[in-house]
Structures are given as C-alpha cells and as structure tokens.
Structure 1
Amino acid sequence: MEPSYSGGITDELAQRIKPLPTSPIKKNAHFLKGLCVAAKFENENTICKTPPSNENLGDTYSGWAYYSRVDNCGRAKFKSNDFSGKTNQFATEVQCVQTCRTHLKQLCNMTAPQRDRRTNYPMVTYDSNLGYCIEAPGSREDEGKENLFLRNETCMAICADKDSGKEEYPNGC
C-alpha cells in the first residue's frame, strides 16, 4: 500500500533539501540596509512626533510644520529661518510631507476605490502607469488609508518620486 500525500514534506524529501547558501556580503548588505532604515525612522520619529516648540513659533518666517495628532503638514510662522531638517520646521510643504508622512508611500501602487463623483469630494490618486497624480473622487477620511490624497502636492511628494529614479535612501544608506 502506498502512503497518501497529506500536503506536507516527507522525512526523505526534507533530508534531500539543502538550504540555499547566504553569502556574508548579502548578510552585511541586509544588515546595513536595516540600520539605515532604523536610523532614518528614528530621526523621523524625533522630528515628526514633536510639535513645533512655542519658543520658535512667531510671525517672522513662513514655513510648514508636521502635526502628528492629525497626521498633516500645516502652515506655520517661525521666529527663525532654521530649515535644516533638525527640527519640526520645514521651508516647503513637500519637505514636510517627504519627511513626516512617509507611511503613505505604501499606498501609491494601490488602485483607488471607485466612488461616485456626485457624493464625494474631489481628491487625487497616484497612477503608477502614468507616473503622476490624477483627479479621483473620495472621502476625506480615505487619506492615509487608500491611494487618495486631498492635495496634488501631497500626492506628488509621496508617490511621484518612486518612479523618478531618485534614491530610496537619500542619506547615503
């Protein structure tokens, strides 16, 4: 009587399967990539989770700041023009979005939900086939959950650089 196949690996087959060799170079590359991602994530958390300090808010220099409570970049006035990237103070909305709203990048290749234009807000979605953002109807609550953005600037800052050939880790990592 022949043994029946239950979907698992037999002991004989398991002994014949050899693991693929992993070179030390590949291990080091993955390790370094992990360190770079972790370092970048830590920097972003430090900058983005801290609201702009009251001492630096003023009325002299216009800029942008990230407000983690509402996951949004908003206009702000600052006492100094220190847009070095070391504080939650950005010269442009694009810099703010690219630094603090990176979690939205995972949505860029998703298909936008089909919504009725008569009952939804005009929003934008990233079309990876075209390489830019196009108009699409959606709900304001969809931003951050679907490939839908309230502003074209946010959509382009998050998604358009994916296909533009820019480095994934611009700080050398």
Structure 2
Amino acid sequence: MDVNEFQTLVARLTGEIAGTPLDTRLEARLNADFGPGSDLYDALLAACRTGVAEGWLCSREGGGIRYGRVLKASDATHGFSVDVVDMNDLAGPHHSHPNGEIDLIMPLTPGAQFDGHPAGWCVYEPGSAHHPTVSQGRALVLYLLPQGAIHFTPAA
C-alpha cells in the first residue's frame, strides 16, 4: 500500500457519495453499506495501519495527536480531502466544518470512541463545529472534507 493505492481505495468511497448531502441519512447509509466488517471498512483500516507504520500517514505531531493531510481535495477524490489522525484519550483543537465532515472511526483499543461514536461512520453537517475527542482508548480517524474546507478556532 502506498499513497496512490490509498487514493484509489478512498476514491471507491468518494465516488459513491459525491454530491450526497452530508446529513444523518448519509451517516446511516455509510454505516449500513461500509461499516465495521465490510470489505471497504476492513481495507481502509488495514491501509491506515500500514500508512501509520510506514510513516506516510499521521506524519506530524502536536498536542499528543499524530495527524496529516494525505490527499488534497481533487477530481481524483471527487472533491474531498483526506486526513487521518491518531488519538488516544484526548480532545483535539476546536474547529468548524463549512461544508461538513465525514469521519471513519477505527478503534485501535477495543471500545474506543470518537465524539461518543463507536467504530463506524459519523457525519457532521455543513456549519457544524466540535472539539474532536477520542475516549476510552486509542483510535485512528479518517476524515473527508468537501473541498478540504476546515476552520480552526483561534486559541484564546
């Protein structure tokens, strides 16, 4: 697995959801069609584990979070950027999602959650905001941002 193969894998998903409103219906669809135990979920988890181990994913670190944007928004990813974070029992920096955010939660510690969600998909609607938080252990979280749009709240 390398970045090009990873892009091809992600594009299988983004091609399925391009143009779909980011809402609870999309979250339900992703969990039903591509949730834990599905071929795509398992392939993305394996790819992310490999990428972290090989250093082409989560190559930066700050505040106890390993992170990195692996793919910029492009036609190849149907307008989505792709970032992956590696978090262990902590909250990340507050930010908003002008166009929404789609998160794939991949616990590395059994039972680990992201913003209270177990393994699977979580969708934030356009204009939403949060402190991304992993609790009950360690998890990788892959997130898709339409047009790569994210706004970090300045520290007080």
- TM-score, normalization: structure 1? 0.25
Structure exhibiting the larger radius of gyration computed from Cα positions = 1
Q: TM-score, normalised by structure 2?
A: 0.27
Between structures 1 and 2, the one with greater helix share: 1
Greater per-residue strand proportion:
2
